[in-house]
Amino acid sequence: MNTNNYRFSLLKIISLPIQALFLVLCLVSGLRAQTLPLTENLINFNSIEGEELLIESQARQDYFPLSIQFVTQRNGAYCGVASIVMVLNALSIPAPETPEFGRYNTFTQNNFFNAKARQVITPEVVSRQGMTLEELGKLLESYPVTAEVHHGGDVTLEEFRNLVVKNLQEANNFVLVNYLRKTIGQERGGHISPVAAYSEETDRFLILDVSRYKYPPVWVKAEQLWQAIATIDSTSGKTRGFVLVSRR
């Protein structure tokens, strides 16, 4: 046996018990899927029922362009930035330089903040406290898009449903929701994510949750989502809501 073979064999012998130990640890500590359990009012998109709702949906124009751009928020407060990045890429808005991708330009959570966006709120502040609905709208408009902001307290359930469903039936425009997780049975505070589809049969919206490490995409009842956007954001003193985004 030459030295290299000897080292390799030794490594294999040492690594076997380590692998076994790791397997045991995984089984004991449940180190597999990491997302939190869902309450019964929510339908996991990653289930047979969740899949069927999308196939049967008549309002899913936005699902594919958004799913292609689906990203995980970079830190606990970056849900708004991750959601904006998805929408700007889905709208094919000309993106700034992306040094990590060479000559290819795309929006990322690192290059999103241009000079105009920094006048609205800085990335440092967003990293600490997230953003309000108004800031979400203004940040979007740092780029050539129109952001129509609706506060949850200003719309009836019917108005909310109609506006969002109409958008989900149209290509090249998107919906971001700003809601209180607790109201829909999740942990726990204010959150922002894109809405990707509507199920007529069950009256539910599909949220592509950008904190992908925490929850899977879920189908939530329209009424419950409406209640969750009509909650008060203590930072602004106003209700949360939703933003309709299109090219300017």
Annotated catalytic residues are 79, 191, 209
Place of tokens 């959150």: 191
- Interface residue with Ca ion, options 59, 62, 73, 143 (CB under 5 A): 62
* H helix or E strand, kind and range, residue 24: helix 3-29
Q: Among residues 35 and 246, whose Cβ is nearest to Ca ion?
A: 246
Size of the chain, expressed as the number of residues it contains: 248
If one asks whether residue 203 binds Ca ion (CB under 5 A), the answer comes out as: no
**Residue 173 is a binding residue for Ca ion (CB under 5 A):** yes
Q: In the complex with Ca ion, which residue's Cβ is closer, 90 or 139?
A: 90
Distance CA 19, CA 124 (A): 41
The least distance separating Ca ion from the CB of residue 170, rounded to whole angstroms, comes to: 4
Minimum CB distance to Ca ion smaller for 173 or for 186 = 173
Shortest Cβ distance from residue 245 to Ca ion (Å)?
9
Contacts of 235 (CB under 8 A, 6+ apart): 129, 130, 132
Per CB under 5 A, does 167 bind Ca ion? yes
CA torsion 247→75→211→24, rounded to 10°?
150
Examine residue 170 and tell whether it contacts Ca ion (CB under 5 A): yes
91 lines the binding site for Ca ion (CB under 5 A): no
How many whole angstroms separate alpha carbon 218 and alpha carbon 195?
10
Q: Which span (81-89, 167-175, 197-205, 233-241) binds Ca ion, by CB under 5 A?
A: 167-175
85: its two tokens:
């990045």
